[in-house]
Amino acid sequence: MPKGYIIAHITVTDPEAYRDYVDRDTPILEGFGGRFLVRGGASEAPEGPMKDRHVVIEFPDFEAAKRAFHSPEYQEVAAIRHATATSDIVLVEGVA
C-alpha cells in the first residue's frame, strides 16, 4: 500500500509564536503514524516561488495522512499556524 504524505511550504511571520505550533503539532501528527522526513533545513527553489520552510511528513497510507490533517486536534493547533505563518499544504499519496 502506498504511503501518504503531508507536504507544507511555509513562510513564518511570527517565529516566537510559531514555536508553539511546532511543539504542539508534533505529538498529534506522530499519534496518527506520522514521521517527519523534512522539517526546515537548507532549501532552494530553482523554479517557482520560494517559501522559508518546507516540511514533509510520511504516514502509513494516504487515509492516515487525511485523518491526521482533518482531525479536530490538529485543526485546533493549525489555527496557531494560520495566525503566525502563510502556508501551502498538500496531502498526497505516494507511489506503490
Is pLDDT of 96 > 90? no
Tell me which CATH code domain 4-42+51-93 carries: 3.30.70.100
Mean pLDDT of 31-51: 93
Counting Cβ atoms within 10 Å, is residue 65 exposed (0-12), middle (13-18) or buried (19+)?
A: buried
Domain ranges of the chain: 4-42+51-93
CA of residue 88 relative to chain centroid, distance: 9
- Mean local confidence (pLDDT), 61-70: 98
How much is the pTM? Answer: 0.93
Between 66 and 41, the more confident residue is 66
Of the candidates 13, 24, 11, 23, the residue with the CA atom closest to the CA atom of residue 50: 11
